[in-house]
């Protein structure tokens, strides 16, 4: 009888433990990407998914939820179970810019999500179509000063490219019209086709098209010249030090994810990011690898929320632009 009671007690103890607590992860992990395939978030996950799979011994499945400048994906991700099997890759636009730009969003970047790890960061490069008569930033400024009506693309309202374009518009007083797209890939297609006058895009996504000659790069928004483009001036060198907006991507889970699961994920993604093959792949793309603790990602988010709030107010940027 005592033995039966002991067995019953042990079973009761096991049943009282969180489901899967000792075996996590026991099935595939889904990462929600809030943009169309081919964007920077997608590329970031694809470069490390094999490494993460090796660490966790479970496959990574990508679920694309584009739309609303990332809001569709964020609203979807925040409702998912906080069990570690559903994650959300988000950038500075979704988490730090949109909450101010949109006036009101239906997700709270701090309260609705649990930081897991920072992934990567990149600067932007100012590009024009190869068919453009603009050969330098000075040429672009000349057109602006002449009152030419120019268009600039962005991967979505509130993105780094949008913010930089609006900042250039404010600084020069130019007749510049914002044309938002549902992702970086369709925006780049119209730039390549000569249907857009200029575009601030991440170095990572612009690099292949610069190399192929499809677009012409004029300047970078980094604080210092980039190793990949040592001869290309920075916006600071060109007299526009305020035109800086790094694009970072971080990994989040729905709020209330168990801390031990967040730590397991942090370790797995962090190790995958540091693998030599991954580091080289990101370096070739012009991306800086930035693995860190959940606390570091939380601090970056809070800092950027305040910084972009000030910038957006200063520029007078509106969601419908």
Q: Check for a shared fold between 27-121+247-315 and 124-220.
A: yes
Residue 164: name the closest of 222, 211, 214 by CA: 222
Domain locations along the chain: 27-121+247-315, 124-220
pTM of structure: 0.75
Average pLDDT over residues 297-305: 94
**Distance from the first to the final alpha carbon of the chain:** 75
Is 52 a residue whose pLDDT tops 90? yes
Lowest mean pLDDT among 8-22, 67-81, 92-106, 260-274: 8-22
Instruction: Render pLDDT for 223-269 as a digit per residue (tens, 0 to 9).
Output: 888 877 889 999 999 999 888 777 889 999 999 999 999 999 999 99
Q: What pLDDT sits at residue 320?
A: 58
Contacts for 75 with CB less than 8 Å, ≥ 6 apart: 106, 107
> Does the pLDDT of residue 9 top 50, yes or no?
no
CATH topology of domain 124-220: D-Maltodextrin-Binding Protein; domain 2 (3.40.190)
Angle between helices 276-284 and 259-274 (to 10 degrees): 70
pLDDT of residue 286: 77
CATH architecture designation of domain 27-121+247-315: 3-Layer(aba) Sandwich (3.40)
Distances from the Cα of 54 to the Cα of 14, 60, 269, 275, angstroms: 28, 10, 10, 12
């Amino acid at each position: 009888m005592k033995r039966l009671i002991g067995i019953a007690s042990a079973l009761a103890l096991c049943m009282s433990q969180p489901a899967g607590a000792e075996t996590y992860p026991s099935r595939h992990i889904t990462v929600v990407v809030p943009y169309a395939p081919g964007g920077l978030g997608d590329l970031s996950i694809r470069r490390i998914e094999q490494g993460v799979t090796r660490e966790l011994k479970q496959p990574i499945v990508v679920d694309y939820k584009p739309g609303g400048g990332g809001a569709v994906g964020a609203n979807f991700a925040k409702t998912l179970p906080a069990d570690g099997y559903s994650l959300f890759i988000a950038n500075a636009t979704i988490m730090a810019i949109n909450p101010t730009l949109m006036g009101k969003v239906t997700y709270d970047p701090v309260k609705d999500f649990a930081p897991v790890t920072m992934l990567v960061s990149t600067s932007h490069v100012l590009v024009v179509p190869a068919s453009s008569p603009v050969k330098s930033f000075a040429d672009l400024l000349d057109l602006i000063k002449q009152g030419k009506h120019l268009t600039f693309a962005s991967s979505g309202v509130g993105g780094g490219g949008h913010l930089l374009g609006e900042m250039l518009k404010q600084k020069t007083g130019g007749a510049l019209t914002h044309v938002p797209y549902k992702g970086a890939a369709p925006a780049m297609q119209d730039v390549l086709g000569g249907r857009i006058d200029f575009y601030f895009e991440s170095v990572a996504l612009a690099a292949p098209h610069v190399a192929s000659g499809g677009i012409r790069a004029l300047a970078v928004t980094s604080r210092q010249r980039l190793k990949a483009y040592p001869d290309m001036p920075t916006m600071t060198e060109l007299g526009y030090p305020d035109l800086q907006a790094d694009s970072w991507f971080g990994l989040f889970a729905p709020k209330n994810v168990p801390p031990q699961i967040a730590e397991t994920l942090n370790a797995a993604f962090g190790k995958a990011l540091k693998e030599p093959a991954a580091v080289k792949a990101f370096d070739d793309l012009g991306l800086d690898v930035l693995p860190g603790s959940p606390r570091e990602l939380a601090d970056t988010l809070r800092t950027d929320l305040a910084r972009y709030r000030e910038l957006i107010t200063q520029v007078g940027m509106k969601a419908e632009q």
